[in-house]
Structure 1
Amino acid sequence: MNDEGKNKELEKNAKALSLDLADKLEKDEIGLEEIARQIDKGH
């Protein structure tokens, strides 16, 4: 595979990952707030 093909493939994978992460983060937002509170307590 040439470099351009590799770059396009990486870009596609990165976008898919970003969307997947964004989706997970939306679902986990409450969980993340809880984690933030735990971290605050630890400091």
Structure 2
Amino acid sequence: LVGQFLIDREGIVRWTFTEVLESGLQTFKAPNPEELMSAVSQVAH
């Protein structure tokens, strides 16, 4: 299991990304910078 998350100043999780890796497959792909900045801008407002 792979996961990433953003937490706001109050400690509330506002965005998550999780993926389960199947054995033998490297399927995890981190969000690209545009996807991450989009999530951050939504949390900031």
Q: Same fold (TM over 0.5)?
A: no
Which protein is richer in helix relative to its size? 1
TM-score under structure 1 length normalisation: 0.34
TM-score, with length taken from structure 2: 0.33
Which structure has the greater CA radius of gyration?
1
- Please identify which structure carries the higher strand content: 2
